[in-house]
A and B are shown apart, each in its own frame.
Chain A
Amino acid sequence: MKNSNLIEKYLHGELDENERLELELKISKDPELANELEVQSVYYARRSSDLKKELLAYKPKSSAYFSNKIIISLLILIALSIISFSAYSYLKSDTSKDKIHFAQEYITDKHPAPSVFMGDQQEKALWLESIEFYNNANYNKAAESFSKATGIKGKSNQALFYTALSFLYSDPPQYEKAINILKQLINTDSVNAEESRWYLALAYYQTNDISSAEKLLEEIVTAKNWNHVKAKQLLEK
C-alpha cells in the first residue's frame, strides 16, 4: 500500500493488523517516513483538538437524554400540550394570523451559531465574543458584537447574517432592522444567502407584509432552496 494511504489510515484509526505490520516495517527501515508520520500526527492532533473546541460549543445543553424517563415523559406531555394549544389556536384564528403564528414558531427555532475561525487574535476574540452572546441568548449584545465583526475580512456577510438574526431574536424583536439587512444579503453570493431568504420571509410575516413574505416563500419552493419543504408547508397553511 502507498505510504500516504498507510499514514491516512493510521491517523484515522483504520489500520488492520496486516497494514499495521506493514507500516511498522516501513518505519523501521525508513527514518524519513517515521519523521513524516510524527509530524503528520502533530498536524492531525492539532486540527482535531481545534475542531473539538468548536464542536463542544454545539453540544446539546440539556442532559435530559440520559436522565430518567419521568423527565422525558413530562417533556412529551408539555410538547403535546403545546401542540394541542397550537391546534386550538389554528382552528380559532384566520389564515393570515395562523401563518404569522407559524412563522413565529419557526423564528423561535433558533439558527445554530456560526463556527469559530482561525485568524487574527483580536478578530478571533471579537468573533468568539459574538458567538458567546448569541449562544447565551443575549441577542441585543450579539447584534452589537456581530455588527462590529462585519469588518472582519471574509466574515462580513456571515457577520451581517447573524446581526440580522440577533435583531430577529431580540426581545422585543427588531424586525425592521433585520429586514433591512436580510434584503441586502439575499442578492449576494454569501453562503447564508439562502438562509437569509427564509428568515426574511419570516420577518415579513411578523410585520404583516404577507404578500412579500409569500413571494419569497414561492421563490424558495421553486428554486428548492434551503427550507423549501417548510416554505411549502407555510404557504399551504
Chain B
Amino acid sequence: MNSLSDQDKIRLKNGDNEPLGRLFQKHYKDCIKILSSMDNCSTLEAEDVFMDALQVLRDKVLRGSFEHDNLRGFLIVTAKNKLLNKQKRDRRIIDIDVNLVEGYLQKINKINNPFDSTLSSEQELKVDYIMRGINELSESCKKLLHMNFDQGYSLKEMVPILKFSSYDSIKSTKSRCLRTLKLKVQELISLHQYRSNEK
C-alpha cells in the first residue's frame, strides 16, 4: 500500500507515532538507497532527511493537508528538498534558522547530526532562552501556542475549543503571547550579558 490509511491518520492525530515508525522501517531501504545516490549525500545525511520527511508528513496530516496517493514519492521529494535546504548554508532567512535549530537540538538529544552547519553560541543561547521562555509562559498561552504550532490547529478551529468569543480575539491573544515570550527572551539575554560583564 502506497498511501496512508485513515486509521493511521487518526493515530497520528492522537499523538501516536507508531504508523511513522512502521513507514520508516518499510521505506528505509529504498529511500536511503535513492537519496544516498544523489551527489554529496552520505547515508547518514540520507537517513536524517528521510526522518525530516516523516516529520513533514506528520505535520501535514495534523493540519489535514496531506492528500498524496504516492507516499514513497512524497517522502523522497520532501527529503530531497530538506537536503538541499540543509546544504545551502549561506541562505538563511532568519537568524536562528529552523535547520540549524534542529541540528542543535539533535546534539542535545544525542542524535547524530550529519550536517556540519551549527548555531553560534549566541544563537544557541537564544534557542535555550526561547525554550525556557515557552515553559515560563502562562498555561493559557502555552496551550494556545502548542495547539497552533505543534498540533496543527488553525486559529479559526481553536476559537470554540478554547472558548474565545471571536477569531480577532484569539488572534490578538496569540500576538500578546508571542510578544510576552519575546520580552522574556530579551530579559534573559540581557541578564546573561550583565552577568557575563560582571565576571
Binding site for B on A (CB under 8 A): 4, 8, 10-14, 20, 23-24, 27, 32, 34-60, 65-66, 112-115, 117-118, 191
As a 0/1 sequence over residues 63 to 103 of chain B, the CB contacts with chain A under 8 angstroms (1 = contact) are: 10000000000000010011011000000011111110110
Contact A41 B96 (CB under 8 A): yes
Closest 3 CB pairs of A and B: A45-B101, A58-B21, A41-B98
Counting chain A CB atoms within 10 Å of each CB, the highest count among B32, B97, B98, B150 belongs to B98
B167 to chain A, nearest CB (A): 13
Q: A117 to B173, alpha carbons, bound, how many Å?
A: 29
User: B95 near A51 (CB under 8 angstroms)?
Assistant: no
Query: Which B residues lie within 8 Å of A42 (CB)?
Result: 96, 101, 127, 130-131, 134
Residue on B nearest A34 in the bound complex, by CB: B94
> Which chain B residues lie closer than 8 Å to A41 at the CB level?
94, 96-98, 101
Of A37, A55, A57, A112, most B-chain CB atoms within 10 Å: A55
List the A side residues contacting B104 at CB < 8 Å. 45
Using Cβ atoms and an 8 Å threshold, which residues of chain A touch B33?
65
Q: Using Cβ atoms and an 8 Å threshold, which residues of chain A touch B18?
A: 112, 114-115
> A54, B17: Cβ atoms under 8 Å?
yes
Interface of A is mostly: helix
Partner of B24, one of A8, A12, A58: A58
Partner of A46, one of B17, B84, B85, B131: B131
A65 touches B32 (CB 8 A): yes
**A-contact bits for B153-169, CB 8 A (1 contact / 0 none):** 01000000000000000
- Report A-chain residues with C-beta under 8 Å of the C-beta of B97: 41
Which residue, A23, A46, A113, has most C-beta atoms of chain B within 10 A?
A46
Q: Given that A35-B182, A41-B98, A43-B145 are contacting pairs, would A49 and B28 also be in contact in the complex, using a CB cutoff of 8 Å?
A: no
Q: In the complex, A32→B181 CA distance in Å?
A: 11
Q: Is the CB of A11 within 8 A of B20?
A: no
* A52 cross-chain contacts in B, Cβ below 8 A: 48, 51, 55, 106, 109, 111
Give chain B nearest CB distance to A181 CB in angstroms.
Answer: 19
For A12, give its contact among B59, B94, B130 (CB under 8 Å). Answer: B59
Q: Judging by beta carbons under 8 Å apart, are B55 and A51 in contact?
A: yes
The complex places the Cα of A43 from the Cα of B102 at a distance, in Å, of: 10
Question: Residues of B contacting A36 with CB < 8 Å?
Answer: 178
Indicate which residue in B98, B178, B182 contacts A11 across the interface (CB closer than 8 Å): B98
Are A14 and B81 in contact, CB atoms less than 8 angstroms apart? yes
Query: How many of chain B's residues touch chain A, expressed as a range?
Result: 35 or more
The reply to whether the CB of B45 lies closer than 8 angstroms to some CB of chain A is: no
Q: How distant is the Cα of A41 from the Cα of B119 in the complex, in angstroms?
A: 13
Check B199 for interface membership: any CB of A closer than 8 A: no
CB distance from B141 to the nearest CB of A (A): 11
Asked if B190 is at the interface of the complex by the 8 Å CB criterion, the answer is: no
**Contact call B106/A49, Cβ cutoff below 8 A:** yes
Q: How near does chain B come to A29, taking the closest CB pair, in angstroms?
A: 14
A23 contacts B105, CB within 8 Å? no
Q: Chain B 29-61, CB within 8 Å of chain A: the 1/0 string?
A: 100110000000001000110011011101110
A28 shortest CB reach to chain B, Å: 10
Residue of A nearest to B129 (CB): A42
Given contacts A14-B81, A41-B98, contact A47 B25 (CB under 8 A): no
Give the docked Cα–Cα distance between A40 and B101 (Å).
Answer: 11
Complex contacts, A37 vs chain B, CB 8 Å: 93-94
Assess the B56–A12 pair: CB atoms within 8 A. Answer: yes
B140: Cβ under 8 A from any A Cβ? no
Nearest A residue (CB) for B181? A39
Q: How far is the CA of A108 from the CA of B184 in the complex (A)?
A: 54
A113 to B21, CA, bound (A): 9
Q: How far is the CA of A23 from the CA of B154 in the complex (A)?
A: 20
- CA of A114 to CA of B22, assembled, Å: 10
Given the known interface contacts A47-B150, A49-B105, the answer about A27 and B21 at a Cβ–Cβ threshold of 8 Å is no
* Chain B residue with the shortest CB-CB distance to A36: B178
A68 CB → nearest B CB, Å: 15
A172 to B51, CA, bound (A): 37
